[in-house]
Structure formats: structure tokens, C-alpha cells
Chains A and B, each alone.
Chain A
């Protein structure tokens, strides 16, 4: 990549080691996963819109179809969209630009990461062509996943490929952030997105190997005849659940922390303000790294774990509200005495305030052991994690694309279409998930496609939720097609259309050329990405 290329060559994209192109490859892959997983969500919602078989064949075999949709929706949204969208696309594109580096520390390993990710997506897609489609949810709990006729190997190999990709990416970015910051750039001068990614990647590096081990033992049990999870031969069913959630709860923070980072960037830039109590927010993020590994049992509150650990981890889980609260205060505080301009990224930013509150606060009863024995595994839980993991984090990816769109594509986003897309998305998610909160409290279980044993009014709530899902679908189609449309025919963007003070806007061309910065970046002790009024 020593000279600027003329025209489009596919090989230049496939074999690229440029972090910006790799970031875009991650984005394309993750949006593809999002689209497919979204179609699965629509199928699920249509099926649930009435009790009995709506689109599945009949009440005896309908589960075979429905459970594959559920599996693919969960696995693809988390492993294929949210994690790669935030720690693949956003981290790749933004980390070197924000710290003033020419690229990541190990560009070829970075290319390997994105190849592994794409390979993982391809293996996951085999779900739709193999006869024995996986049907054991993204959690893959044994003994069901071992007894099921579904193809466990596809699931495990997808996790291996994407997990390997994540581990390599974590090492790469951590080294980049630690050693490749511009001369003069201290830790307390970093962008909030850098802190969000730094803390998320530490969590990823520590916990992904545990998941890899857990699913590998699953593979051995199924295909090699071992008995790690088989109690009749001395194994233990709960071992898997503990290992799985020991990774998968921290994985929530791998998504949450960079998502928060993105919204901090948008607030600071659009309010032209410094981050309120920057250090408290940074220590909040570090605090999450510290508690991330001590809370997994809240996924096992009714799984037959000993009482002492159910109560102990209720306390640690509730205490997450302290670091998250500090981060939230500094997020809201960044608006205080700001000079706020409203545009599309800021629309998503304001929506995020609300999503963070609803998603975060509904987590509090679920953190309480005794509340969770009723609310857990109901559509209340389902709506809770969709608000915080699904919608808050998805909005952060969409807001990131919209915010950095001028830098990435060199063109401005078409505002009218983006606004229509935003409002449909925002209204749609509320119409979808509020009814699920309500019937969840009344006992609607998760992962059901028939619910005839429950009162008839459940069907009305499910119908409303289904309408909401279609509103979101239209909003998403408008939003994503608008990116393509604007990237081709949008108005040309200047180097710094938002008037930001962050390096990726102030020191690069639009779009940034090979090597990112025309001149080497040096910052002084007074510099911060948020120094709008010194």
C-alpha cells in the first residue's frame, strides 16, 4: 500500500494489511450477519404472533424449524455482528487513527484475524445447507447439545474460528494502544473509545479461551465419547454452564464498553464539550474489568447452584451498578453546559440515553436472586438484554457508521433518509420490546413458539411485538441502503465536518490515505481529544 490505488481491485481488499480496509471488511461481514440474523428474528416474531403453528409446519415438528431460527439469530447477532462490529470494525478503523499511529502493531496478523472471522461466518452459514441443522441455541447447553441431532461441530468450529480471530485481534490492539500512541500522548489523554476498546479487549483476551475450552469439551463428549458433562459417568452438567457464562457474561462488557465509548465520542463532539469527570468514567471502565469475572452465576440463579454463591454473586452483580453508574453520570454530564448540535449521530446518542436507562435498570431485578427465579427465562429477561445488548449496542454500531461516515467514505450521509431510518428503528424497538416486558412479568417463557397454555391476551401482546419488528426491519433497510447510496452519490465531505478535536478528524485527509497521517503526529501535555474550550 505504498501508492494510492487507482480503481477497485478485489485482490487489494482480500490481501490488504491496511487497518482501515480490514475495518471495512469487518463491517461488511458483520452487517451481512446482522441482516441474516434479522431475517431470523422476523421469522420468530411471525411465528409468535399467534399461538399454535403460524408458519411452522405443525405442532409436532414445528420446533425443528423454529429452534434453528432461534439458534442462528442468537449466534449470528452476538458472534457475527455485535462483537465483530465493535471490536472488529470500529476498533480497526478507529484505534490507530485516534492514537496517531500509522497502522496496528501487527498488520499481517490483523489480516489473518479478518480472514478467520470471514471463515467463521462461512462455517456458520453452512447451518442453512446441512441436513442436521444446529438447534441448541447459541448457548449450546449439554446434555441437549450432545443428545440433539443438530450439527454440533458447525457451532463449535464457528466459535473456534471467531474466538481465534478475537484473541489475535485483542493482542494486536492491546499492543497497538500500549506502544504506538503518538509521542506525548498520556493515558489520561486518550479518547473514551480507546479506553472502551482497551478494557473490552482485556476482557476478551482473558475470557475467550475459557469459552473455547468449554465448547471443545462439548465436541469431545459428542464425537469422541468422553464424559466431561455426563453425570452418569462422573461428569457434571453444571460444569459447562459455569464455563460458558464465565466467558459469556464478560462478553456482554466486550460489547458494552466500546458501545459506551462510541457514544462518549459523539456526545463530546456534538456538544463541543469535555467529558464530564473523565477520570471517573475511565476508572468505571476499569472497574468493570475487575468485576466482570465475578458475576457469571446470575445466569445460574435457578440452576441448582449452592445458595452461598447465588447470594454472593447477587451482591457482586448489583455492585456493577457502581462503575456503570459513574460512566452514565459522566455520559449525561457531558451534555451539561454543552453547545449541542442535533444531527443523525446525535439522534442515536439521545436514544442511547434512554436505552441505557431502560436496559440497565431492568437488569437490577434480574441481578436479585429471588426476583430472577420468577423473571429469569421469561420474555422480561429477553426484553431486558435486547434493550441493553441488542438495541443499545446495535444503535452504537449504526451511530458509529453514521458519525465516521464522512471520514470512511469521503462523503456526507443523506440526512433525510437517515432520519426516517432512525425514527422507524427507534419507534419499532419500543413497540417490539415493551409488550414482551409486560407478558414476561406474567410468565411468558423464552424460546416458546406456542403458548396456548397461557391466557389468551398474551397473543395480543405478541402481535404488537411482531408489528414492531417489521417497523424495525423497514428502518434498517432504509438505514443500510442509505449508506450505500450516500457512499456513491453523497455530497463530498471536508476533513472535519463535525468540527471535532480528535486526531482522526484534525490530522488526516478524508478518507485517510495509506499511513493515515500526512505528517507524524506529536501531541503536547495540554492536548486532549476534547479540548474545545481550554
Chain B
């Protein structure tokens, strides 16, 4: 009997270890996907709270209409215990929900802030009203929103990209709507964000911290290409050739 128990325990442990492994090193963290997942959870949470309050409010508004002249309300005069309970129980429920959301939010936040080791590093410089990108080999690119020319930010699919960012003039903010992330840039500090380009294609990054006259036009193309194409593009750029 003892042996059966210990064998089952071993098996259980082994399975747990296997399952734990399945989620860990091989899997690529994807903050944007986690964000979308959390957003759905939060919406459900908000919808439930909102529906309960709104239903109660509207029901009472219609149910307790005055029916005769001079009628007065008969709202309960709470005893001390009842008053404390009506404060303590909801306070406990709200706090429980707060800590639940805080814990979930913190988990995803850790994904956002822990940059994977194999990330490609790009230096981003913001200036009124252009983004410029400098790669590790010294290649610098920009994108001109008026003529829609220039490469902008080119990244390889499947490799995390970390941006080290700084501004030469005022506060800007590098906002990647598709990747659900933004971070401000300012003079005197280097900030960072990272994202995971998942599919080949073009998206945008746009300034989301007010920076003056051409704030609306301070955007750039973000082009995700296969790794091989990226390597070739970077090498071409280094030689002074034209990009993709």
C-alpha cells in the first residue's frame, strides 16, 4: 500500500514537473497577448459590478415611486451592527476584487518589464517631430510621415525587441497600439519597453505625449520581416545600400 502511494506521488510530481515545463522555457512570452487576455477578464469583472449596481438602482427608482401626496420614505434606520456590516462586508468584497486585479495586473506587468535575454536592442531617439532608430551595428533609420518614405523601425519576426529610449528636446511617448505598450521618452533619462513581433507585416508607432504643433504627425512605420530578410536588410544598410 505504501509503495502504491509513493509511486502515485512520484507520478504526480513528475506530471506536475512536466506541466510546469510545458509553460516555461520553450514558450515565448507575449505581453500583448497577456494584455488582451487580462483586458477580457477586467471587462467581465466591471460588467458584473456595473450590472448589479445599475439593476438595483433602476429597480429601486421605479419600485419606490411616491404613490400619494405627503408620503415619506421608510428607509431602514440601521442598528450599529447592521451599519458596520453594511460597511465592512462591501469594503471586504471591494478589497478582495482590488487585490485580485492588482495581483493579475502585477503578473502581466512583470512580463512587460522583464526583457528576454535574446532581445534585439534598438536605440530610439525622439525629437520634435521625428523618431530615429539606431541598431547595434550603428545603422540609423527614420521614417518621414509626410512623404511616407524611409524604413522606420524594422524588426525580425519571432525575436523580442527592446527599445532603449531618450529624447533630445521635450517629453514624447512611444506608443505601439498593436503591441499594447507605450513608454515616455525624455531628456535626462533612458527608458525602455519591449515587444514581441509575431507576424510579418506593417504596423505603426505614434507619439502619445503631447509635444507641440506636429504631435499628431509624429508617427513611424513598424515593419516586421522574417529573420533572414532582416539580417540582409541590416547588412545592406550597413554597406550604405537601400533597405527593404
Q: Which residues of A are in contact with B by a Cβ distance under 8 Å? A: 59-61, 63-64, 67, 135-137, 139, 141-144, 147-148, 231-232, 235-238, 271-274, 276-277, 279-280, 283, 302-304, 307, 310-311, 314-315, 318-319, 321-322, 325-326, 328-329, 332-342, 350, 353-354, 357-358, 361-362, 364-365, 368-371, 373-374, 376-378, 441-443, 445-451, 453-454, 532-533
Contact = CB atoms under 8 A, between A and B. Distances in A.
Interface of B: 35, 38-39, 42, 45-46, 49-50, 53-54, 56-58, 60-61, 64-67, 71-78, 83, 86-87, 90-91, 94-95, 97-99, 101-102, 105-106, 108-109, 112-113, 145, 169-171, 173, 175, 177-178, 180-184, 186-189, 191, 204, 206-217, 219
A532 B101 contact: no
Nearest to A531: B72
A449 B182 contact: no
A458 to B, nearest CB: 11
Given A339-B72, A453-B204, A453-B206, 10 more contacts: A60-B214, A67-B213, A280-B87, A302-B182, A311-B106, A314-B105, A315-B99, A321-B94, A338-B73, A368-B105
A303 B46 contact: no
Contact of B188 (A232, A311, A365, A373): A232
Contacts of A445: 175, 206-208
8 contacts: A136-B210, A237-B171, A353-B61, A365-B46, A371-B38, A445-B207, A448-B215, A450-B216
Nearest to A333: B75
A339 B71 CA distance: 6
A314 B102 contact: yes
A271 B73 CA distance: 6
A137 B209 CA distance: 11
Contacts of A318: 98-99, 101-102
A532 B182 CA distance: 54
Nearest to A350: B61
A335 B61 contact: yes
Given A279-B83, A311-B109, A353-B54, A339 B73 contact: yes
Nearest to B185: A304
Q: Which of A342, A453, A532 has the most CB of B within 10 A?
A: A453
Contact of A67 (B101, B181, B212): B212
Nearest to B34: A370
B86 A277 contact: yes
A232 B108 CA distance: 35
Contact of A361 (B49, B90, B177): B49
Nearest to A287: B91
A238 B105 CA distance: 24
B215 A373 contact: no
B80 to A, nearest CB: 9
Nearest to B87: A280
Contacts of A135: 212-213
Contacts of A450: 216-217
A347 to B, nearest CB: 11
B175 A315 contact: no
A376 B178 CA distance: 14
B73 A532 contact: yes
Contacts of B208: 376-378, 445-446
B66 A447 contact: no
Given A326-B87, A368-B101, A443-B175, A376 B182 contact: yes
4 A-B pairs with least C-beta separation: A231-B188, A443-B177, A273-B73, A63-B213
A147 B170 CA distance: 8
Nearest to A349: B61
Given A237-B188, A445-B206, A302 B177 contact: no
B214 A63 contact: yes
Contacts of B67: 339
A337 to B, nearest CB: 5
B102 A336 contact: no
A392 B145 CA distance: 39
Contacts of A335: 57, 60-61, 64
B42 A357 contact: no
A439 to B, nearest CB: 10
B53 A332 contact: yes
Contacts of A236: 188
Please indicate which of the listed interface residues B98, B180, B187 has the most CB atoms of chain A within 10 Å of its own CB: B98
Given A64-B213, A326-B90, A453-B206, A373 B183 contact: yes
A326 B214 CA distance: 45
A191 B146 CA distance: 59
Given A357-B50, A365-B42, A374-B180, A143 B187 contact: yes
B39 A365 contact: yes
Contact of B56 (A63, A277, A302, A332): A332
Given A231-B187, A358-B50, A377 B65 contact: no
B99 to A, nearest CB: 8
B55 to A, nearest CB: 11
Nearest to B98: A318
